[in-house]
Amino acid sequence: MGKQFKVIRVSNHWSTEKLRKDIEETLNKASKQGWELVDISFLANTMVAMITISK
């Protein structure tokens, strides 16, 4: 079986700092499960991040 990919949507409309913490927690949890970061994209004018991971 080839690589698996997963896209995770993380949002927090309170502040960029809270969004940063949510992204960090999400990546740490995924890393413990064996996933590796591929890309993080931020949607324009919103507090939404799309995280792509693989394993």
Give per-residue pLDDT as tens, 12-48: 888 889 999 999 999 999 999 999 999 999 987 778 9
Q: What integer pLDDT is reported at residue 26 of this predicted model?
A: 96
Position 52, amino acid: T
Contact indicator for 54, 36 with CB cutoff of 8 Å: yes
Q: What integer pLDDT is reported at residue 27 of this predicted model?
A: 96
Half-sphere exposure of 8 (CA within 13 A, CB side): 19
Nearest C-alpha neighbor of 14 from the set 22, 6, 3: 22
Taking the model in full, what pTM does it have? 0.83
Q: What integer pLDDT is reported at residue 13 of this predicted model?
A: 83
Q: What integer pLDDT is reported at residue 1 of this predicted model?
A: 73
Where is pLDDT greater, at 55 or 44? 55
